[in-house]
Structure 1
């Protein structure tokens, strides 16, 4: 990303796109499905009372830009045009989005929907294959996006007559998979502290911290670490518990991704997105992601149909928003 600079933009020439996460909001201008260079900005949500003030600040930072349309992606469910963020006390609706951006055409997507809409626009450099498919298959129009970051989610990506379709989902709140005795103890640990454990309670940044705490309780060592500290100590080898934490995380991620793949049959590939997913990339192969992904009994061989990639473009959701709103505008014209 180039450093943003304040420019004067012609009115109604571009669209506004935003990716609202649990911690930060990324905002940019777009020309069709392409982000306008130099306009990507990041804002800390804690410094703003709501999305309207974030977008107002962005438009001011961009010299009073007047976008033709706006599309935002949010980390939470969207129902009847209203978004409720899962890990942030914000509510967003189409009317507020239209007012804050002065746009007549607006759209609100779940963040994984935006990632799905971005897939056709990813460059080869923006994705890394971590589990190759063992067989060639021509049924590659169905793909699966799995997001691991502040939270967890997954979304099916379909292509029909050149149109990308991404149904919404809240997969992170499905019940946590338990495969063995240690995962049962982890599940009970989370349940005792946080209630019925969902996938997101382990496969997320805060989930990584909980796995570390659980392993410490097992050993009578009650030190706590942030997710960033756990990853740093795993990398430098100074904390065996951090390495064990990441190993547990990777294998649970592989098992969950494998289950979702059997449900959706993504012959076009599985795409891991999000900051935590990218941070795990160096450990997926050595810590057994592929083995856990394919460990499905008599369907183990069938799992070789599905390649797994890590998306390394941190702004893919913005591109997805741009592509989606461009298609909405085209359908109206």
Structure 2
């Protein structure tokens, strides 16, 4: 896979990259000269715009951006791409690619990819301090003392650099929605709609949560639990059994639940995030098994980096490893939190650059 250091030469490339998420839209201009540098980035609430071409034209028209020197661009979109369009899953907007390209004031090759493809391609461009290792050793206290050498693989378990972790990688990204993807050892990204797969409860409490959500939605996917909306759903469910009237029940927005949990001022909020993290660990383990992610599991999206104290607790490790006979295998798989919010932009820029350079081969 090409990465930020893969092209030798001294040409300066301006690349337009956009990360169109369910909550936020980020537009950026990057320079490439052996590696990417973000020259400019602006963020908008996705709910605040109705026409993406107008937003992009307004951004690119700023004189200091020198948009006339852009060689290529790529949009990373939070939704399934079907043919020449994409339905943004959580905003319900439809992006027609041909209409958008024809409406732009500046013309350059423009690509469209799923947001998990952008994030997945961006992982190899991250530095070690862009990642927080959560599990990085087979000598984990939750593992049995026995060890099967036949399971050993050069996964770089003590490393926090994605380029040093060999084998397939798994990406799970809870944010406005829940994205899941597989990254092959050679860097290809296979996106999915795995977040819409059936939620599999493991405990009596989770079974009760499933019944609560099934009555509310009719179908209970992992996204109904592992997302911003999921945090709100868990809180609402737990509040049904609260007897202490001094504790706010009912509905609270996810940012407020998270804030109060991190401050330790709301026991119900703390319990909400603990259950969220436990379920996240379980589904991360499921994804690791499905993809044989010896190269590591990467937690992306907007939520993980905001709840680091809860991710550092034992719960996520316990639920990740609780896969019966596969416990030993999973114990050799590192887990990282992606701290750099620019990973999707870097990945989109890399896709644009690779495509542009590919025409000269």
Q: SS of the counterpart of 1:43? A: strand
2:196 is equivalent to residue 173 of structure 1: yes
Distance 1:54 1:89 in 2: 17
- Structure 2 counterparts to residues 47-126 of structure 1, below 5 A: 47-61=48-62, 63=64, 65-66=67-68, 67-99=70-102, 100=104, 102-126=106-130
Distance 1:116 1:13 in 2: 22
Distance 1:181 1:301 in 2: 26
Distance 1:260 1:238 in 2: 33
Q: CA deviation at 1:320?
A: 0.2
User: What RMSD in Å do the two structures reach over aligned CA positions?
Assistant: 1.9
2:343 is equivalent to residue 316 of structure 1: yes
* 1:147 to 1:96, Cα distance in 2 relative to 1, 3 A: same
Distance 1:85 1:35 in 2: 27
Name 2:329's counterpart in structure 1.
Answer: 302
- Structure 2 counterparts to residues 191-230 of structure 1, below 5 A: 191-219=214-242, 222-230=249-257
Name 1:18's counterpart in structure 2.
Answer: 18
Q: CA deviation at 1:68?
A: 2.2
For residues 85-124 of structure 1, what are the alpha-carbon distances to aligned partners after superposition, in whole Å with 9 as ceiling and x for unaligned? 1001222233234222633422111111111101111001
Distance 1:46 1:203 in 2: 21
Residue 179 of structure 2 contacts residue 194 of structure 2 at CA under 8 Å; is this kept in 1? yes
Name 2:133's counterpart in structure 1.
Answer: 129
Residue 77 of structure 2 contacts residue 112 of structure 2 at CA under 8 Å; is this kept in 1? yes
Name 1:4's counterpart in structure 2.
Answer: none
Distance 1:263 1:198 in 2: 17
- Structure 2 counterparts to residues 137-176 of structure 1, below 5 A: 137-138=153-154, 140-160=166-186, 164-176=187-199
Q: Which runs of 5+ in 2 are unaligned?
A: 1-11, 140-151, 156-165
Q: Which runs of 5+ in 1 are unaligned?
A: 1-11
Distance 1:323 1:97 in 2: 21
* 1:27 to 1:68, Cα distance in 2 relative to 1, 3 A: same
* 1:269 to 1:50, Cα distance in 2 relative to 1, 3 A: same
TM-score of the pair, normalised by structure 1 = 0.90
Q: SS of the counterpart of 1:87? A: coil
Q: CA deviation at 1:171?
A: 1.2
Q: SS of the counterpart of 1:117? A: helix
Q: SS of the counterpart of 2:180? A: strand
Q: CA deviation at 1:313?
A: 0.3
